[in-house]
Structure 1
Amino acid sequence: MGPTGPKRRFAAGKSTTVTLADVARLANVSEITVSRILRNIGPVADATRDRVLAAVADLGYVPNRVAGTLASATSNLIGVIIPSLSNIVFADVLRGIDAGLEPSGFRPVVGITNYAAVAEEKLVGSLLAWKPAAMILVGFDHTPITRRRLQQSGIRVAELMDIDSEPIDLAVGLSHRAAGYESIRYLVGRGYRRFGYVGHDWDTDRRARLRWDGMVEALAEAGLTFEAEALFEGPSSTQAGRTMLAGLLRKPHDLDVVMFSNDDMAVGGVFHCMAEGISPKRDLALFGFNGLDIGQALPTPLSTIRSNRFLIGKTAVDRILSQPDRDGATAVIDTGFEILTGETA
């Protein structure tokens, strides 16, 4: 960057940088061979290629795309990887990230995984190759290669939305297990006893599973269980919530409240109730998670838990910019949550 660009203060810290020579030694080939394989130039024996790629994965090596440019060149990029653009939850996080970066001169480069860990692995490799000042990701579920690359990068790494596991560097978010637990305690305190659950694929949304775990724990403490459950085999959506609640209510049981994995699903549940003449709260209570605007704009505002998504993104950037060097110690920032009483439970 020239004199008008941001002053570079992000350093490699105490990391051990893996070089092309390290890969060549482990694979027992020349550095030229490694370079040709990584750039996919010229014919190479399959066995040699496999050996080099295995060494790359084992060492967590990331090619330096900045090499060969001016010696003074530095990156003013912040890598940001999120699971989805269709889910407004992550749009709110991005707004917080952008608000934090706007006055700094650093700019986000955004990648979308569609909840696929392998896609995240590829994006992390690509972004690290451009030597970003920091990396911001959602959650803790990474492939071993992704985790190794992030650990060895030496730059600040922020994992957002969740604080229920040990971070690589910095975690900013809320305890989803605690959110699930407190939602049940709140509803039990309001007299509800017969609980149902409507959710989406836990394999792609670990945080939804953590909330369910917290709910189960709180129910057990009250001597209760979920009397009926319905899981959609795919990502959450309003239509999925409507369909799954309809299926749940066709079964013989006498539920007085249904918990939803998030507000997307819960809003769909409200639409089903409206279509079938079921009065939320009077006939069947509904409770969501996230505190989305659409849930609060319904004729009957949704009862839910609000996560502070803008604050999560902004807080992560503020911490990265104020403490740009990774010092080896991990940090967790709890941005909390709040119960929105609404009118559906």
Structure 2
Amino acid sequence: MAKKSSKVLTAAVNPAAPTLIDVARVAGVSPITVSRALNRPEIVSEAAREKVLAAVRVTGYVPNLLAGGLASNRSRLVALFVPTIVHSIFAETVQALMARLSQAGYQTLLGLTGYSAEQEEQLLAAVLGRKPDGIVLTGTLHTAASRQRLAQAGIPVVESWDLGEDPLDMQVGFSHEAVGRAQAEHLHARGYRRFAVVSVDDPRALRRCRSLVARLAELGLAEPPLEILPAPALVESGRAGLRQLLARDEGFDVVVCSSDTVAQGVMAEAASRGLRLPEDLAVLGFGNLSSAAQMHPALSSVSVEGDRMGTLAAEALLQRFNQGERARDAVRIDTGFHIIDRATT
């Protein structure tokens, strides 16, 4: 008795490694549709894309990205450099950027610079050899060699988390100097007069710190005591910073921190010493991590909308990719920031 033919999608392919043609046959679409679904999914209907992806799973097809890159002069790869993943201040930006690029058919290569322009230079030397279509950097501080290398590469570059006067190409971020001024003015308006600062030696954090100190001087206040600790920002950084400030016995009623992680350490050290927040000591963080509102007491912070930065950086790259060889548009997007008052101020 003959077996009935099955209507279930099966891998009717050669025993050799499956090809794009095999995927097209199993999916019931043309080879060009398969190519578009895998390389430019945004221009293919959802129904066709689902058929292709199902066929890819069944056949075990692995696209030859090198061959595709040679044919199209595109690697479908974007490099993203961030200082650290030890804490989550950059996590929203990374996740939003990767999600948007993935939606458009691009993969992301993540590199860690450790807050070092020299480490960024070494990463660039390694990554540019892999011919990424674009690069997203954190900040505007780069070595002369990095600037020259990127100019010679001729690929789209986005500097994120900052705005500067000498852009490499596109910028999506905010002014750290404006944040420092706003912190000083906001806390001064709330009646605080004796400031202190706990920061890590991240160049952007130090710029915020210098701006805050300068604005406090304009407001007629004394220069605040500073504790600058090695990056990355850790909870222990905040604990150590407050311990050292208290040992100096200079008197202060509010501590401005370079990140929410540092602020959490300040809060923990204050609690261990029986200090009440904000009655004995107010604390202001930076970054507005998801944990800030859930702490007890809830942490006041500066929100910089990291997810929006990531999405806008990805959109800037995608727009440039679609422009091809046409004239490059100037892109400088100020994503802004706002201070969120919670229980610690």
TM-score class normalised by the smaller sequence? 0.7 to 0.9
Instruction: Rate the CA distance shift 1:343–1:164 in 2: closer, same or farther, 3 A.
Output: farther
State the distance in 2 between where 1:328 and 1:3 align: 25
Query: Which one-letter code corresponds to 2:110 in the other structure?
Result: V
The number of residues matched between the two structures is 286
Query: Which one-letter code corresponds to 1:265 in the other structure?
Result: V
Query: Which one-letter code corresponds to 2:235 in the other structure?
Result: T
Instruction: Rate the CA distance shift 1:276–1:124 in 2: closer, same or farther, 3 A.
Output: same
Instruction: Rate the CA distance shift 1:277–1:322 in 2: closer, same or farther, 3 A.
Output: same
| Equivalent position of 1:95 in the other structure | 95
Instruction: Rate the CA distance shift 1:71–1:100 in 2: closer, same or farther, 3 A.
Output: closer
State the distance in 2 between where 1:158 and 1:80 align: 9
Q: Deviations over 1:55-101 (max 9, x none)?
A: xxxxxxxxxxx79x855563111111111111211221111111211
Question: Where in structure 2 are the equivalents of 1:156-305 lying within 5 Å?
Answer: 156-201=156-201, 205-305=202-302
Query: Which one-letter code corresponds to 2:151 in the other structure?
Result: Q
Structure 2 SS opposite 1:81? strand
Instruction: Rate the CA distance shift 1:293–1:71 in 2: closer, same or farther, 3 A.
Output: closer
Instruction: Rate the CA distance shift 1:165–1:208 in 2: closer, same or farther, 3 A.
Output: farther
- Contact residue 213 and residue 224 of structure 2 kept, 8 A: no
- CA RMSD, Structure 1 to Structure 2 (Å): 2.3
| Equivalent position of 1:143 in the other structure | 143
| Equivalent position of 1:154 in the other structure | 154
Instruction: Rate the CA distance shift 1:322–1:330 in 2: closer, same or farther, 3 A.
Output: closer
| Equivalent position of 1:41 in the other structure | none
- Contact residue 320 and residue 328 of structure 2 kept, 8 A: no
| Equivalent position of 1:6 in the other structure | 39
Query: Which one-letter code corresponds to 2:343 in the other structure?
Result: E
Q: Tell me by how many angstroms 1:158 deviates.
A: 0.3
- Contact residue 169 and residue 329 of structure 1 kept, 8 A: no
| Equivalent position of 1:114 in the other structure | 114
Percent identical residues: 33
Q: Deviations over 1:247-299 (max 9, x none)?
A: 21122222111111111111100001111110011011111111112222111
Q: Could you tell me the TM-score, scaled by structure 1's length?
A: 0.77
Instruction: Rate the CA distance shift 1:120–1:255 in 2: closer, same or farther, 3 A.
Output: same
State the distance in 2 between where 1:85 and 1:271 align: 22
Matched, 1:315 2:316: no
| Equivalent position of 1:27 in the other structure | none
Query: Which one-letter code corresponds to 2:272 in the other structure?
Result: A
State the distance in 2 between where 1:153 and 1:70 align: 17
Q: Tell me by how many angstroms 1:167 deviates.
A: 1.4
Q: Could you tell me the TM-score, scaled by structure 2's length?
A: 0.77
- Contact residue 80 and residue 111 of structure 1 kept, 8 A: yes
Query: Which one-letter code corresponds to 1:210 in the other structure?
Result: R
Q: Deviations over 1:162-212 (max 9, x none)?
A: 0134211111111111011101100100111111111112xxx11101111
- Contact residue 117 and residue 141 of structure 2 kept, 8 A: yes
Gaps of 5+ in 1: 9-65
State the distance in 1 between where 2:228 and 2:217 align: 21
State the distance in 2 between where 1:256 and 1:106 align: 49
| Equivalent position of 1:38 in the other structure | none
Structure 2 SS opposite 1:102? helix
State the distance in 2 between where 1:253 and 1:130 align: 53
- Contact residue 316 and residue 331 of structure 2 kept, 8 A: no
Higher relative contact order (CA 8 A, sep 6+): 1
Query: Which one-letter code corresponds to 1:116 in the other structure?
Result: S
Larger Rg belongs to: 2
